[in-house]
Amino acid sequence: MSYQDKRKESLLSHNDSVASSSSGKSMKYILITGGVMSGIGKGILASGVGAVLKASGLHITSIKIDPYLNIDAGTFSPYEHGEVFVLDDGGEVDLDLGNYERFLNVTLTRDNNITTGKIYRSVTDKERRGDYLGKTVQVVPHITDEIQNWVMDVAKIPVDGSDEQPEVCIIELGGTTGDIEGMPFYEAFRQFSHKVRRENFCKFHVSLILQPRSTTDDKTKPTQQTVAEVRKLGLAPDFLVCRSEAPIQESTKEKISNFCDVDKEFVISLPDLPSTYDVPLALLEQNVLELLGRRLKLGYLEASQESKNLLIHLANQKSLCEGDVTIALVGKYTLYTKDAYASIIKALEHASYACRRRLNLIYVEGCELELNTKETDFEKYEAAWNKVKSAHGILIPGGFGKRGTSGKMEAIRWARLNKIPMLGICLGLQLAAIEFARNVLNLHNANSTELDENCEIKIVIDMPEHNQGQLGGTMRLGKRKTIFKTENSKLRKFYGGQQEIEERHRHRYEVNPEYLKVLEDAGLRFVAQDETGKRQEILELDDHPYFVAVQYHPEYLSKPLAPSPPFFGLLKAATEKS
């Protein structure tokens, strides 16, 4: 019997009648929570579960809930929550939505990221309009109802380009079980589980299994405690996903099953793996797809052979590489967290695999490249420059603020003079223009109004529509059109010769149009502009293997098997140097 016949036969035995979609089937919801510690891997699990469900032919959507009071992620320091991911519609959201888009090949909206700030603002706006007819506005029912309604509305939005309403919505609840900020959401989903009925609502809980080297057994007490906590909140897990360094023992699964009231086959071992793309394969090997089909009454589910082959290929890309390529990422947030550049790292990986090279990514703090005799730590200074000089290519990422910008410009100068492939992104483009003005045109006072608002020579200026009094949501955001002005462009070739492209933006400064002619006359070519013809989008140098900078953020649209053209160009040029 074929897969489609098996699924059709199994579905005939079920009669779901609530939360119906336009196709007559019930919307299925999967809630993913986590305990013991933050950063336990809920986002990668959510992406992995979505990937295996999509492999069976289902239409999938995702929602990320962040219980903080911020309206969105736009004003966060990368030290707080990692990078700010930008969507087509300009939504500034949590980096996990980037994982969802890359894994599931979907395009999400700002409403796919729910925050406490958004929920409370929506409720208080309704109260001000009089929508509650004079009633006392409370967490229950008003906040909890708003959460549930938001989820049900967003779950219906097509996201995979097919115009088909999703069949399964995967909801990741950020934070850790027990956090006071998350309590309204746990209560909302406790109520929600009854509203949509058990067969349409499934709960995953991610926990930590300790494996101390001083003993030979797995320690399950933290998991027992977090499951007890989530059960008290009325959300007893159906699946218990155990994170650990090594695979957990069968005896550990039995113990967890007994103490946590979860069937042993629903206890999933998810140890540290070589790649995030190994996660869907690990889930398939433990029959998660079959178990979800039973639990959510989706009928017989099986990943197609084509989908399995694709997942295997993604997981094995690194093993197909035939050499190494070294890229120096010269940034501002490299010392403490790599999440600050999560999408850039992924885009570099995608491009390196396309070039059949293993990525050796080295992180350089921009300020450590700066020579100031009073403040310079010469040991760090020498070590940082040794890293830069050892690299086959240099990447200058986006960012805000003055710290480290002089060092970044020194790295740009090194790449320009020594013919080292270089890609600048957003701030990287602006600094490339300033460096060129200072060191080629001898305009030593050239600067950006962001770095010195009273600078004499304003190579980079504030955009006219930038709201000086408010930071959140005031930038040029989202997918915008870029138009090449010439066919004589290195980067245009990597875009397949297209004259018009669309990429996502996040900036509030631009190259000053008054200095375009003098810069171009000296050899710095601006080869593309926005649809108005006023904003410069791409700069290049002719007499250089690959000196390219872009005003947009190409990392946001990079996919595992469709690497971003600017990143692919950098890696291809760097590979020729390796």
What letter does residue 136 receive in the DSSP assignment?
P
Rounded to an integer, what distance in angstroms lies between the CA atom of residue 552 and that of residue 77?
A: 20
426 counts as catalytic: yes
pLDDT at position 14 is 45
The superfamily CATH assigns to domain 3-7+22-316 is: P-loop containing nucleotide triphosphate hydrolases (3.40.50.300)
pLDDT at position 17 is 38
Mean pLDDT score of the chain: 91
pLDDT in tens, 352-386: 999 999 999 999 999 999 987 677 788 899 999 99
Evaluate if residue 472 carries a pLDDT over 60: no
Q: DSSP characters for 558-569?
A: -BTTB--HHHHH
Asked, colleague to colleague, whether 3-7+22-316 and 323-577 share their fold, the answer is yes
pLDDT at position 468 is 55
- List Cβ neighbours of 228 (8 Å cut-off, separation of 6 or more): none
Rounded to an integer, what distance in angstroms lies between the CA atom of residue 412 and that of residue 393?
A: 11
pLDDT at position 375 is 74
Determine the average pLDDT of the residues in 292-309.
94
Residue 558, token pair as written in the block? 């990079």
Question: By mean pLDDT, which of 1-5, 228-232, 250-254 is the weakest?
Answer: 1-5
pLDDT at position 7 is 52
Query: In 398-407, which positions are buried (b, 16+ CB within 10 angstroms) versus exposed (e)?
Result: bbbeeebbbb
Determine the average pLDDT of the residues in 188-199.
96
Rounded to an integer, what distance in angstroms lies between the CA atom of residue 364 and that of residue 391?
A: 11
Encoded amino acid at 560, one letter? P
- pTM value is 0.91
User: What are 511's strand-pairing partners?
Assistant: 460
Residues 578/450, Cβ–Cβ less than 8 Å = no
Rounded to an integer, what distance in angstroms lies between the CA atom of residue 348 and that of residue 382?
A: 26
* Residue 230: C-alpha distances to residues 34, 183, 191, 249, 501 (Å): 9, 11, 14, 24, 47
pLDDT at position 21 is 43
Rounded to an integer, what distance in angstroms lies between the CA atom of residue 112 and that of residue 154?
A: 7
Catalytic residue from among 172, 242, 426, 544 = 426
| Of 11-25, 140-154, 336-350, 474-488, highest mean pLDDT | 140-154
Highest CATH level, class, for 323-577: alpha beta
pLDDT at position 19 is 44
Structural domain boundaries in the chain: 3-7+22-316, 323-577
Evaluate if residue 82 carries a pLDDT over 90: no
* Residue 252: C-alpha distances to residues 223, 256, 425, 516, 551 (Å): 11, 6, 48, 66, 52
Determine the average pLDDT of the residues in 461-490.
81
* CA dihedral angle for residue 529, residue 532, residue 535, residue 541, rounded to 10 degrees: 20
Where residue 504 falls among pLDDT bands split at 50, 70, 90? very high
pLDDT at position 464 is 73
Evaluate if residue 114 carries a pLDDT over 60: yes
Rounded to an integer, what distance in angstroms lies between the CA atom of residue 244 and that of residue 229?
A: 20
User: What are 32's strand-pairing partners?
Assistant: 172, 204
Residues 410/370, Cβ–Cβ less than 8 Å = yes
pLDDT in tens, 207-229: 999 999 887 789 999 999 999 99
> Where is 539: in which H helix or E strand?
strand 536-541
pLDDT over 90, % of the chain = 82
553 counts as catalytic: yes
Best CA proximity match to 480, nearest among 509, 508, 505, 507: 505
Q: DSSP characters for 227-285?
A: HHHHHHTT---SEEEEEESSPPPHHHHHHHHHHHT--GGGEEEEE--S-GGGHHHHHHH
**Do you find a cis peptide bond into 397, omega within 30 degrees of 0?**
no
pLDDT at position 193 is 96
Evaluate if residue 20 carries a pLDDT over 70: no
pLDDT at position 401 is 87
pLDDT at position 217 is 87
169 counts as catalytic: no
Rounded to an integer, what distance in angstroms lies between the CA atom of residue 343 and that of residue 559?
A: 10
Cα Rg of the chain (Å, integer): 26
E strand segments, 80-226: 85-86, 92-93, 113-115, 168-173, 201-208
pLDDT in tens, 417-452: 999 999 999 999 999 999 999 999 999 999 999 999
Rounded to an integer, what distance in angstroms lies between the CA atom of residue 266 and that of residue 219?
A: 19
CA angle 356, 358, 359 (to 5 degrees): 120
